[in-house]
């Protein structure tokens, strides 16, 4: 019974992390003038619309994973670079905001079930935010960095993007991603500690 309830709690944490992250991308793009995600039904908090099976499995096993990328057309933004950076960071920002809300709830509501659920939501949102900040295509960290790459280096950037799947697999399989992600997680936790 404990195992089943624990799995359900983990699923809630994952569902919240995925939903708010992708909704953050879609809604920020909408506010900036791009309704591509909205047209594809991705401007929603429904996790089923954003679920990626491999990303879900990775999140259950190592607490790090990904969802289906929200379709965005930066050409619809008034300022391509600024819009791209804002949308790239919107998902991570949404994860951190939800984590802060859960920290506050956990602090003031002394119930076992609430503590378990909010703890799972915090863990997965922090992990999801940190992982997505890695500068690897198609993650958000790359979305930010690529916005500032000079045009003359586009060919190099394209080659790097074409190798992203291999880089992804190597980092996940070897666990090397933890070397890069740990400092990011520590920074996010430092932010959360301000509300504890």
- For the chain, what's the residue count? 196
Query: Taking a C-beta distance cutoff of 8 angstroms, is the pair 66, 26 a contact?
Result: no
Query: Tokens in use for 101?
Result: 């809300």
CA 172, CA 175: separation in Å to the nearest integer? Answer: 5
Q: Among this protein's residues, is 22 annotated catalytic?
A: yes
Query: Catalytic: which of 22, 116, 155, 161?
Result: 22
CA 21, CA 91: separation in Å to the nearest integer? Answer: 4
Does a cis peptide bond (omega within 30 degrees of 0) precede residue 43?
A: no
Q: Cβ atoms within 10 A of the Cβ of 158, count?
A: 10
**CA 165 distance to own-chain centroid:** 17
- Locate tokens 């500690």: which residue? 193
| 51 CB-near residues (< 8 Å, 6+ apart) | 18, 67, 68
Annotated catalytic sites, by residue?
22
């Amino acid at each position: 019974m404990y195992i089943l309830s624990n799995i359900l709690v983990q699923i809630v944490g994952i569902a919240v992390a995925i939903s708010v992250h992708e909704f953050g991308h879609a809604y920020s793009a909408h506010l900036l003038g791009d309704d591509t995600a909205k047209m594809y039904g991705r401007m929603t908090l429904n996790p089923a619309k954003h679920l990626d099976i491999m990303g879900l499995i990775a999140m259950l096993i190592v607490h790090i994973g990904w969802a289906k990328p929200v379709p965005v057309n930066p050409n619809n933004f008034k300022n391509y670079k600024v819009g791209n950076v804002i949308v790239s960071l919107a998902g991570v920002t949404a994860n951190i905001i939800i984590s802060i809300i859960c920290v506050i709830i956990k602090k003031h509501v002394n119930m076992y079930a609430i503590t378990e659920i909010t703890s799972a939501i915090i863990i997965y949102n922090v992990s999801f935010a940190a992982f997505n900040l890695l500068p690897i295509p198609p993650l958000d960290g790359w979305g930010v960095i690529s916005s500032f790459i000079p045009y003359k280096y586009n060919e190099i950037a394209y080659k790097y993007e074409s190798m992203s799947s291999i880089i992804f697999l190597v980092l996940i399989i070897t666990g090397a991603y933890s070397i890069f992600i740990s400092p990011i997680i520590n920074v996010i936790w430092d932010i959360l500690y301000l509300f504890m």
